[in-house]
């Protein structure tokens, strides 16, 4: 799956095992720089026959999570071979370090002071790494040296965010929980936000009002205070829209928030739509009002807002890879940007749309619900009741054909 992250001068995109930096300047217009991720260094002896039997597949060569630091200077990239890559925009996107991770990453983010990067993984842990060491040089840490374990869940983590001034770290997991912990003393839990009926896949923090927005596997979006109180909730789609989705999966994939206009955008798994809401404040409380539903050509890969409060939608479409929408106060909704205009956004959009060779590597890679998020319910009550009825009636259960009886075992021993 391809990703799209905004920084002040443009966008950082990932596809396959490559990065593409699209930058805009008045002097040079839009420039594109491609970066290939460094392969892991493994000095252990390998079995050549085993390597030959298991050739790397397309699904084994892609980025799992990316994040841009608050100022836009640093870019963090976590790949499927358990590596954390850090890049510096001020040094023309030079790679600062590549570090080994203990587990595959699910989400990555920076602290507000940009001194540390936090990595959440599929086993439920969050590790902290320094961006720059005390001597001013970037650290290249093989064997996970220097990583600090911050907190742990008993379930797979799916997203992590930090609040203003790095006061709290908020994590969400597969088991419907949102946990608000103090930072950096994350062992001190502030509260839990409980209310989702499915996995919690995406978090958005609203700095101005100190609120938290979450999206879950049941298709619900909820707004919380940092004390764990639910302000409001809404369902992304009605029942008719949900029933029209393939295989019945309809969970929130990604949330994006525009701080300027209080606009929230959401995309879901197996859904070719972008749901747009207006977050409104009143004396009675907070409410989410649906503004518009944008229909896309394919299920979107990713969404994000830029610093001009425009929504960018990345999708697997060769002739229309990225769409741009701008908020209209007159119509109280998002409208598609005219790509023919010579604005900065239009120039970047045309350059991204002409880079399909870069994005096509992600077609069909983790496009739908990742394995392990949807819980499988095990009904063992039926088997229990059958056994109980047999005990009550005195009927002995016939042994399975695959299980030898006692007499059969004696015969085999004698022979």
Query: Which domains occur in the chain, in start order?
Result: 3-42+56-414 (2.130.10.10)
pLDDT in tens, 203-227: 999 999 999 999 999 999 999 999 9
Q: State pTM to two decimals.
A: 0.84
DSSP bridge pairs for 65: 78
Q: Which residues of the chain, if any, have pLDDT below 70?
A: 41-61, 133-145, 238-249, 339-340, 366-372, 375-379, 395-415
Whole-angstrom Cα distance, residue 404 to residue 385? Answer: 24
Residue 247: its pLDDT value, please?
Answer: 43
- Determine the pLDDT at residue 56: 45
């Amino acid at each position: 799956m391809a990703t799209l992250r905004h920084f002040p001068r443009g966008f950082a995109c990932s596809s396959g095992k490559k990065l593409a930096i699209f930058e805009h300047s008045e002097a040079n217009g839009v420039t594109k720089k491609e970066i290939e991720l460094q392969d892991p260094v493994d000095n252990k002896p390998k079995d050549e026959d085993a390597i030959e039997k298991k050739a790397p597949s397309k699904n084994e060569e892609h980025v799992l999570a990316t994040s841009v630091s608050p100022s836009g200077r640093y870019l963090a990239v976590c790949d499927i071979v358990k590596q954390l890559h850090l890049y510096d925009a001020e040094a023309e996107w030079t790679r600062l370090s590549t570090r080994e991770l203990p587990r595959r990453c699910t989400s990555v983010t920076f602290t507000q002071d940009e001194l540390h990067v936090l990595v959440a993984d599929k086993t439920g842990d969050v590790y902290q790494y320094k961006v720059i060491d005390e001597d001013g040089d970037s650290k290249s840490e093989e064997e996970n040296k220097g990583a600090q374990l911050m907190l742990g869940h008993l379930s797979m983590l799916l997203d992590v965010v930090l609040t203003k001034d790095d006061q709290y770290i908020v994590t969400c997991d597969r088991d419907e929980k949102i946990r608000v912990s103090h930072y950096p003393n994350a062992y001190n839990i502030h509260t839990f936000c409980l209310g989702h009926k499915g996995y919690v896949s995406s978090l958005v923090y609203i700095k101005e009002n100190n609120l938290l927005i979450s999206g879950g596997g049941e298709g619900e979006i909820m707004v919380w205070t940092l004390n764990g109180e639910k302000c409001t909730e809404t369902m992304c789609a009605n029942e008719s829209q949900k029933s029209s989705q393939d295989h019945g999966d309809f969970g929130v994939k990604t949330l994006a928030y525009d701080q300027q206009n209080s606009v929230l955008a959401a995309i879901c798994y197996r859904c070719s739509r972008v749901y747009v809401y207006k977050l409104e404040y009143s004396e009675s409380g907070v409410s989410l009002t649906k503004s518009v539903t944008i229909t896309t050509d394919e299920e979107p890969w990713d969404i994000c807002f830029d610093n001009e409060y425009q929504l960018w939608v990345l999708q697997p479409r060769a002739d229309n890879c990225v769409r741009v929408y701008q908020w209209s106060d007159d119509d109280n909704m998002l409208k598609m940007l005219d790509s023919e205009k010579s604005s900065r956004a239009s120039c970047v959009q045309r350059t991204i749309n002409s880079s399909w060779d870069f994005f096509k590597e992600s077609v069909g890679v983790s496009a739908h619900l990742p394995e392990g998020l949807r819980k499988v319910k095990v009904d063992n009550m039926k088997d229990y009741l059958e056994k109980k009825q047999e005990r009550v009636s005195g009927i002995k259960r016939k042994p399975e054909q695959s299980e030898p009886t006692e007499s059969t075992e004696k015969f085999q021993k004698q022979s």
